[in-house]
Amino acid sequence: MLKNIQEWTLLLTIFGIVSLLGNWIGYDVMPAAAIPGIIILILICLAGLIIQKLIPGNIPSVAYIAIIGIIVSMPWMPGSDLVVQYTGDVNLLALATPILAYAGIAIGRSWTDFAKLGWKTIVVASFVLLGTFIGSAIIAEIVLRFQGII
C-alpha cells in the first residue's frame, strides 16, 4: 500500500509537471501560478485512489475522485472558493493533451486490433451519437409536454 502511494505520487507529479508546461505554452498560464491548482488535483486523486483500496466493492477510483472533487468545491464547503480559484488555473485541455500523447504511444501495440475495427467502428460510433441524441430528445419531449412547457 505504502509502495503504491509512493508510486502514484511520483507518476502524478511527473504527469503534473508535463501538464503545467503544456498549460504554459498552450494557455499562457505561468507554471508557478498553476502549481497550487495541480497540487490540489493530485491530492484529490491520491485520496480517491487510497479510498478505493480501503473500501471493499468494485466501485472504480474515478467515481471516488469525482465525488471528492465535487465536495471540496461545493459553495457550502469552507475554503471551496480557494479550491475553485487555484484549480481554475489548470486548463482541462492541458490535462487532456499529455493523456493522449501517452495513449498514442500505448495504442500502437493495439493498432492491428484497432485497424480491424475499421468501417464498423464508424458505423457503430455514428449510431452511438445518434442514439444518445434521439433518446434524450424523446424523453425531454415527453417530460416537457407533461409539465406544460411546450
Place of cell 495504442: 107
Residue 37 CB contacts under 8 Å (≥ 6 apart), including other chains: 86, 87, 88, 89, 90
Residue 120 CB contacts under 8 Å (≥ 6 apart), including other chains: none
Looking at the Cβ atoms of 32 and 141, the one nearer to another protein is 141
Looking at the Cβ atoms of 32 and 101, the one nearer to another protein is 101
CB of 123 to another protein, least distance (A): 7
CB of 73 to another protein, least distance (A): 3
Looking at the Cβ atoms of 32 and 116, the one nearer to another protein is 116
Dist. CA 61–CA 71, nearest whole Å: 15
Q: Is 23 exposed, middle or buried (0-12, 13-18, 19+ CB in 10 A)?
A: buried
Looking at the Cβ atoms of 32 and 62, the one nearer to another protein is 62
Looking at the Cβ atoms of 32 and 132, the one nearer to another protein is 132
CB of 57 to another protein, least distance (A): 11
The DSSP letter of residue 90 is S
CB of 96 to another protein, least distance (A): 5
Query: Under a CB-based contact definition with an 8 Å cutoff, are residues 86 and 37 in contact?
Result: yes
CB of 35 to another protein, least distance (A): 14
